[in-house]
């Protein structure tokens, strides 16, 4: 998501990120290094999809937005654009976003909340700075992800859920606060409707804290948002993601404090194709969605008159 004159990061063609050349412990399969994009006053780090790990569980896309401060009068203006075959997940550390979509949802999200939009066979949405926040300017910092839908839910009816921070389970472990954003973790289940085994947790470490992450999910990744983190003694750089080995209990520890995202879940049931904002099990579904969007047959967002045209790009 970025200012109005540019296409938003999650509507541009995805370029796989790379594998860092570091010495890793046996509990780390790969370390993914992001591609950085500077868009006005907002920096975006794109980590997934990657050459070393195209997906982690159902997570097929991972963007770290900011941190940045938007000047007074300057806001985020992500014009209406479509999705199929996925759920978008927005989680903020700072700032606010107004979500509007073609099924009539209108919801402001603030730090600690979760917006989960299931695209299914097709939805259109916009994301903008709320009017009340635009005039004064505001800080922006957060994570946007896509979760690919399993085959039996790929063409489900679109839907939208908002869950306030107070409704999300929180667990304290040895000085680490663990908020379950979606799916199940540490004996707790988030209220978000998921369609396959999902792990998505925001972890806040106090100085000198640590906890053991057990292999309760098939695939797992650990992303360092800020601060310092070691995984079984191996340091992880800020803005990078460690793909963890299967069936390994790993220790996550921070000397000075950190904010960390833990994600993953069941391995997806088959290959997925990605083009622009579309995720699908076949290229035919993507071509159908492209034609429908070009013909403006995927729905409209109430109150919006703009839309982002289909870019001239090839699938990969």
Q: State pLDDT tens for residues 30-55.
A: 999 999 876 556 778 999 998 898 99
Which residues, 6+ apart, have CB-to-CB distance to 167 below 8 Å? 191
Q: Rounded to whole angstroms, what are the CA distances from 165 to 170, 192, 195, 282?
A: 10, 12, 21, 36
CB 272 within 8 A of CB 61: no
* pLDDT at residue 40, as a whole number: 55
Q: What is the extent of the structural domain holding 105?
A: 9-294
* 221 belongs to a structural domain: yes
Its pTM stands at 0.90
Of 194, 193, 197, whose CA–CA distance to 56 is shortest? 197
CB 164 within 8 A of CB 115: no
Q: State pLDDT tens for residues 76-113.
A: 888 999 999 999 999 999 999 999 999 999 999 999 99
* pLDDT at residue 189, as a whole number: 98
* 213 belongs to a structural domain: yes
CB 86 within 8 A of CB 313: no
Question: Which DSSP state fits 84?
Answer: B
**pLDDT above 60: residue 229:** yes
**pLDDT above 80: residue 212:** yes
Q: State pLDDT tens for residues 3-18.
A: 333 334 343 333 444 4
Average pLDDT across the chain, whole number: 90
Number of domains in the chain: 1
* 299 belongs to a structural domain: no
* 4 belongs to a structural domain: no
* pLDDT at residue 314, as a whole number: 54
**pLDDT above 90: residue 283:** yes
Q: Where are the alpha helices (DSSP H) in the chain?
A: 131-134, 283-294
* pLDDT at residue 252, as a whole number: 98
CATH of the domain at 148: 2.60.120.10
Q: State pLDDT tens for residues 142-198.
A: 999 999 999 999 999 999 999 999 999 999 999 999 999 999 999 999 999 999 999
* 232 belongs to a structural domain: yes
* pLDDT at residue 233, as a whole number: 96
* pLDDT at residue 3, as a whole number: 34
Instruction: Grade residue 264 by pLDDT with cuts at 50, 70 and 90.
Output: very high
């Amino acid at each position: 998501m970025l200012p109005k004159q540019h296409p938003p990061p999650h509507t541009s063609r995805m370029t796989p990120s790379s594998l860092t050349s570091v010495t890793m412990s046996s509990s780390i399969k790969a370390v993914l290094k992001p591609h950085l994009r500077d868009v006005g006053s907002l920096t975006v780090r794109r980590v997934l999809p990657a050459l070393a790990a195209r997906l982690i569980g159902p997570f097929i896309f991972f963007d770290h937005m900011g941190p940045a401060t938007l000047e007074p009068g300057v806001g985020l203006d992500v014009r209406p654009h479509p999705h199929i075959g996925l759920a978008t997940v927005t989680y903020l550390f700072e700032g606010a976003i107004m979500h509007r979509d073609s099924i009539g949802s209108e919801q402001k999200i603030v730090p600690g909340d979760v917006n989960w939009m299931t695209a299914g066979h097709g939805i259109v949405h916009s994301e903008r700075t709320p009017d009340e926040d635009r005039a004064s300017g505001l800080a922006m910092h957060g994570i946007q992800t896509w979760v690919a839908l399993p085959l039996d839910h790929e063409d489900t009816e679109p839907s939208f859920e908002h869950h306030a921070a107070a409704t999300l389970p929180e667990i304290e472990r040895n000085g680490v606060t663990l908020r379950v954003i979606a799916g199940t973790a540490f004996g707790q289940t988030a209220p978000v409707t998921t369609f396959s085994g999902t792990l998505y947790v925001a972890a806040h470490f106090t100085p000198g804290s640590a906890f053991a992450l057990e292999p309760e999910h098939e695939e797992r990744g650990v992303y360092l948002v800020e601060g310092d983190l070691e995984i079984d003694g191996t340091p992880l750089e800020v803005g990078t993601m460690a793909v963890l080995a299967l069936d390994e209990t790993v220790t996550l520890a921070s000397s000075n404090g950190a904010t960390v995202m833990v994600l993953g879940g069941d391995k997806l049931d088959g290959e997925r194709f990605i083009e622009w904002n579309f995720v699908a099990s076949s290229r035919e579904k993507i071509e159908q969605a492209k034609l429908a969007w070009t013909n403006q047959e995927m729905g409209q967002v109430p109150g919006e008159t703009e839309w982002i045209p289909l870019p001239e790009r090839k699938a990969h």
